[in-house]
Structure formats: C-alpha cells, structure tokens
Amino acid sequence: MLAGALAFMALAVNPLGGLIAAIPFAILVLKWPALVVVAAGVPLAYVQVVVVDVAWGSLARIQAWKDFLERRRSPRVERLVASGGRFWITFFATPLLGPWLVMAFMRYAHVRHGRVALPIALGLLCTAVVLATLSMAVPELFARSSAIGVGR
C-alpha cells in the first residue's frame, strides 16, 4: 500500500505525465475512491508550480540568467505571455501545457504567482475531475460492451 501511495505521489508531482498518469493509476490499479484521488492529486500537481516559482525567484538574482532570458525573447513568446495572467487564458493553458510551464511563462512575463494561483489550481481541479470521471466510466463502458457481445 505504501509503495502504491509513493508511486501515486511521484506520478502526480512529475511534470511529464502528472495527473494524466497518476489519476488512472490510483483509480484503476490502487482502487482508490475518485474523491480521494482528486483531493490528493491536485495539491501534488500544484507542487510543480511552487517549485518553478521558487526556482525562478532564485535564478532571477543571477545576472547570467537575466541575460539568457533577454537573448531568448522573441515575438512568439512575447505574444504567449502578453496575456499577463488573465484568468481564462491561464485556466485553459494549464491542462494543455502543464502547470509548471504555465508558471514559467507567467514568471517570464513578470506576473506574480498570486495572480495566477487560482486559475492554475482550478485548471488542475477540472483536469483531475475529468480524468477521474473517465477513469471510472471508460472501463465500465468496455465491460458493458463485452458483456453484451459487441465486437465479437
């Protein structure tokens, strides 16, 4: 049980996969209730945001980092971060790009963590609810279709 919980935590915190891997694993393999999985998964996935925010704050004190960022500025990146952390753009970008990358873009745009915390957290919550629902519904659909002989 402890190994499963640790695996869930590692998956949820992971920036590559994150909730997309952790929620089905917890529901289908560990047989945890969806409410528990969502309640535990969202804060664990949000750890990515905190890590990026703290790391960015530390790196911002280094002149070489500032110079590196100035050399990387491009019109495309400028358009991406021009939103300044508006709610809906941040909300929809979170499940598509990942919370850590959204936070990195926002810090690049000089947007404070507090300004984007709610849309990122709600984006993660909606993602978790959809994934939990699918993790419960899709296997049930396959079981039902095989029971009635569909696909034979």
Tens digits of per-residue pLDDT, 137-148? 988 777 666 656
152 within some domain: no
79 within some domain: yes
CA distances from 119 to 6, 18, 81, 95, 102 (A): 27, 18, 15, 11, 11
- Tally the residues of the chain: 152
- Given CA atoms 134, 7, 17, 35 in this order, what sign does their dihedral have? positive
Which pTM does this prediction carry?
0.84
80 within some domain: yes
Domain span at 53: 2-147
Residues 6+ apart with CB under 8 A from 65: 59
- Give per-residue pLDDT as tens, 66-121: 888 888 777 766 666 676 778 888 898 899 889 999 999 888 888 889 989 999 99
Number of domains in the chain: 1
58 within some domain: yes
CB atoms within 10 A of CB 142: 12
- Give per-residue pLDDT as tens, 4-35: 999 999 999 999 889 999 999 999 999 999 99
- The DSSP code sequence of 100-112 is HHHHHHHHHTT--
